[in-house]
Each structure stands twice: as C-alpha cells, then as structure tokens.
C-alpha cells in the first residue's frame, strides 16, 4: 500500500517534470459524457456513436463513458459538474445556457423562428453558429458541435387548438426566459423543471402540460400521462456538444485531432437520424393509443403565430437585436408575415 503510494507520487512527480498534463498521465484518458435523455433518442444514439468512434480512432487511448437519462447529473448540476471537471462532455439543449449568462442561445427558442431543418443548417453551420459557440469559452467550455433533435409538440390533458386553450394551464419549461415568455403570451403559467422530473410532475398534476419533441415525449413516457398532443412544430430543440476547456486544451494534439474527427462523424450521424427518430416516435405515440394527436388547421396555426411572434419583440433586449436580425437573415424568417 505504502509502496504503491510512493510509486504514485513518483509517477506524478515525473509527469509534472516532463511537463505532461493530468489528461496525458491518465491511461486510458476517460471522457465522462453525461446527458439527460434516454439512450434511444437522437442525442442518446449520437453520444453512443461518438463513444464508438472516439475509442476506435484513438486506438483505445480514450475511453468514453456515457451516462444517459440523468443517471449522473440533472440539467443544472451537469453544467456545474462540467465547469468543475467532474465530467468532461455534455450536450445540453440550447435552451439551457441562459442561466449561465449566455443568453444569446435563447434565440433558438423563439417560436417559429426556424421554419425547417434547412434553415437550421444555415444558422448552425454558418458564422452565426460558430460565433455563438465562442461565447461559451469565458465560461470554461468549448463548443464542439451542434446536434439536432427536432421540432416541439405541445401536450396537455385538454386539446390545445387555439391560444385561449392555454389560459391557466401550468406548463413545464426548460430554463429559458424565451420559453417563459412564450407561455405567458398564451396566458399559461410556465414552470422551470429538470427534464428528469417531468414525467412525475405530469403524472401527479404538479403541471398540466408541456412541450417537447416526440422522441423525448415517447421515451420519457409522457404520452402515458397526457391525453392530448398538438402536432404544432412551433419551436425547436437542439444541442451544443460542449467540453471542459481545461481538459480539452490539455489533451495531446494527436488525440484531440482524432476526437475532433470522431465528433465530426457523430454530428453527421446525429443530424441524419434526428428527423426519422422523431417521426417514428410520433407514430409510436399514435399507436400507443393513450394520446389524441391534433393537427392544427391553417387558421389555428395563424392564431398561434400571431400570439407567439410577439415574443420575438419582447425578448429582443435580452437576446440582442442584432443576434435576432442575423438569425432572420440566415433563415429567411419574416416577423411581419403571418
Ligand atoms: C428538456 O429538458 O426538455 C430537453 O432539453 C431534454 C433534452 O436534452 O432533449
């Protein structure tokens, strides 16, 4: 025991003397990747793909441990854990960076701002996507990629067909002020809650309803405790894959390059599977037969848009007018057109 402690010190001393970082000294290098969704979601499958590719490309010098479904940390805790270096990689939803002080990401939460995935690609693969990721660095994070999930649907125990149907409904939201404003614009009562707590809150009536992508609704079994789903596609959920900056900068350059390549490939994979995963999940919700699925008429959609586009103006001072404007330019969204 004592001998091994001595040896440990010796190796540590030698490591420092050779100028190696803690990451290099550890063999294999461990990347703990914590996330909150189930493994069979777009994010869960992309995280597993990254693990496979990273271990393969580094020839086993890196081991990725994926912890899905909030098994390690919930939403808020995982960001703190990444800052502290207790985990090395996360993929939080873009709606969860506001409390960290990076409010610009909430532009993605503005209702209807992304008409389709093509528009999304123009934003995240262009200069705007890169400049948003840069804003994470002063917080101790490096943004490596954007991973897709999809468009959100509304659920509740009553049909939500017109803005007036939301009045007084308690709706669970992610920690985004834009989402808070979105539900207030509909006369609902928003409540921030960790993703891992949503099923129980819906089941026990702590909240009446929520919004999420079909893949998240289905894999968390929310549809079992929600009688109605509106196929509204009124907003978007996607992710920023982030790493602890100290950890990443401390990696040997060749390994960092291999991990970058693994991330590029898993991002292509993530963005390829996301739409189908959500389409399949919506179909599975339909088949489960517990939730009535409503499709809005063009008149109902117009009423939602009219009520919700006002949120863009209300949130301009928080997000930044120029950020919203560049988003409009990239996506072709026109707030004056219904
Ligand atoms: C949510 O909290 O609803 C989502 O951000 C969960 C996720 O990571 O997709």
- pLDDT tens-place string over residues 244-261: 999 999 999 999 999 999
Which ranges of the chain does DSSP label H, i.e. alpha helix? 2-17, 22-25, 42-57, 75-84, 117-124, 127-134, 177-185, 198-204, 214-219, 245-249, 253-288, 298-314, 316-319, 321-331
∠ CA 91-212-233, rounded to 5° = 110
- Point out the least confidently predicted range of 17-31, 210-224, 287-301, 311-325: 17-31
Q: Which atom of ligand 1 is nearest to the CA of 172?
A: 3
Which pLDDT score, from 0 to 100, does residue 337 have?
79
Tell me: pLDDT of 4 over 60. Answer: no
In this prediction, residues 157-167 reach a mean pLDDT of 98
Is residue 251 assigned to a domain?
yes
In this prediction, residues 85-101 reach a mean pLDDT of 97
Is residue 134 assigned to a domain?
yes
Return the residue whose CA atom lies nearest to atom 3 of ligand 1: 195
Is residue 22 assigned to a domain?
no
In this prediction, residues 58-63 reach a mean pLDDT of 98
Which pLDDT score, from 0 to 100, does residue 26 have?
66
Which pLDDT score, from 0 to 100, does residue 336 have?
84
Of the candidates 335, 279, 327, the residue with the CA atom closest to the CA atom of residue 94: 327
Return the residue whose CA atom lies nearest to atom 5 of ligand 1: 93
Ligand 1: centre distance to CA 154 (Å):
14
Which pLDDT score, from 0 to 100, does residue 27 have?
87
∠ CA 254-256-257, rounded to 5° = 65
In this prediction, residues 41-57 reach a mean pLDDT of 98
Averaged confidence pLDDT in the chain: 93
Q: Which atom of ligand 1 is nearest to the CA of 36?
A: 8
Name the residue of 94, 237, 270 to mutate for ligand 1: max ligand atoms within 8 A of Cβ: 237
Is residue 252 assigned to a domain?
yes
Tell me: pLDDT of 174 over 70. Answer: yes
Q: Which atom of ligand 1 is nearest to the CA of 75?
A: 2
- Point out the least confidently predicted range of 16-20, 33-37, 98-102, 133-137: 16-20
Is residue 12 assigned to a domain?
no
Pair 179, 173: CB distance under 8 Å:
yes
Which pLDDT score, from 0 to 100, does residue 335 have?
87
Ligand 1: centre distance to CA 70 (Å):
11
Reading the block at residue 78, the tokens are 């995982």
Q: Which atom of ligand 1 is nearest to the CA of 216?
A: 9
Which pLDDT score, from 0 to 100, does residue 301 have?
97
Domain of residue 98 covers 29-337
Could you tell me what percent of the chain has a pLDDT over 70?
92
Is residue 328 assigned to a domain?
yes
Ligand 1: centre distance to CA 37 (Å):
7
Write the CATH number for 142.
3.40.190.170
Tell me: pLDDT of 190 over 80. Answer: yes
Sort strands 292-294 and 228-230 into parallel, antiparallel or unpaired.
parallel
Reading the block at residue 64, the tokens are 């990725």
* Confidence band for 58, pLDDT divided at 50, 70 and 90: very high
SS3 label, residue 239? strand
Ligand 1: centre distance to CA 36 (Å):
7
Is residue 277 assigned to a domain?
yes
Rounded CA separation 192/174 (Å): 6
- Find where tokens 């990273």 sit: 54
Name the residue of 66, 74, 79, 216 to mutate for ligand 1: max ligand atoms within 8 A of Cβ: 216
Rounded CA separation 78/256 (Å): 23
Which pLDDT score, from 0 to 100, does residue 60 have?
97
Which pLDDT score, from 0 to 100, does residue 21 have?
52
Which pLDDT score, from 0 to 100, does residue 338 have?
60
Tell me: pLDDT of 2 over 50. Answer: no
Is residue 24 assigned to a domain?
no
Pair 54, 259: CB distance under 8 Å:
yes
Rounded CA separation 160/163 (Å): 8
Which pLDDT score, from 0 to 100, does residue 179 have?
98
Tell me: pLDDT of 9 over 90. Answer: no
Return the residue whose CA atom lies nearest to atom 1 of ligand 1: 195
The total domain count for the chain is 1
In this prediction, residues 196-209 reach a mean pLDDT of 98
Rounded CA separation 176/95 (Å): 5
Ligand 1 cavity residues, CB under 6 Å: 36-37, 43, 93, 149, 174, 195, 212, 216, 237
């Amino acid at each position: 025991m004592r001998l091994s402690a001595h040896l440990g010190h010796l190796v540590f001393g030698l490591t420092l003397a050779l100028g190696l970082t803690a990451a290099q000294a550890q063999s294999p290098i461990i990347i703990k990747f914590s996330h909150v969704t189930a493994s069979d979601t777009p994010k869960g499958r992309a995280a597993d793909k990254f693990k496979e590719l990273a271990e393969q490309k580094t020839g086993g010098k890196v081991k990725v441990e994926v912890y899905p479904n909030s098994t390690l940390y919930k939403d808020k805790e995982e960001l703190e854990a990444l800052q502290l270096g207790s985990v090395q990689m996360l993929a939080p939803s873009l709606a969860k960076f506001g409390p960290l002080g990076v409010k610009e990401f909430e532009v993605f939460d503005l209702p209807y701002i992304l008409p389709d995935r093509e528009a999304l690609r123009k934003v995240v693969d262009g200069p705007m996507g890169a400049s948003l990721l840069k804003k994470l660095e002063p917080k101790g994070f490096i943004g490596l990629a954007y991973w897709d999930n999809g468009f959100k649907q509304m659920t509740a125990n009553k049909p939500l067909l017109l803005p007036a149907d939301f009045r007084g409904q308690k709706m669970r939201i992610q920690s985004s002020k834009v989402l808070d404003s979105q539900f207030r614009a509909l006369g609902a009562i928003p409540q921030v809650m960790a993703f891992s707590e949503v099923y129980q809150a819906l089941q026990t009536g702590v909240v009446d309803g929520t919004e999420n992508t079909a893949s998240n609704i289905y894999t968390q079994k929310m549809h079992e405790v929600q009688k109605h789903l509106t196929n509204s596609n009124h907003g978007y959920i996607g992710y920023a894959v982030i790493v602890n900056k100290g950890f990443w900068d401390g990696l040997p350059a060749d390994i960092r390059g291999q991990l970058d390549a693994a991330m590029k490939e898993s991002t292509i994979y993530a963005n390829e599977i996301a739409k189908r995963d959500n389409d399949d999940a919506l179909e599975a919700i339909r088949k489960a037969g517990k939730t009535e699925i409503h499709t809005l008429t063009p008149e109902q959609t117009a009423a939602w848009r009219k009520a919700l586009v006002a949120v863009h103006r209300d949130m301009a001072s928080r997000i930044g007018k120029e950020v919203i404007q560049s988003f409009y330019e990239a996506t072709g969204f026109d707030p004056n057109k219904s």
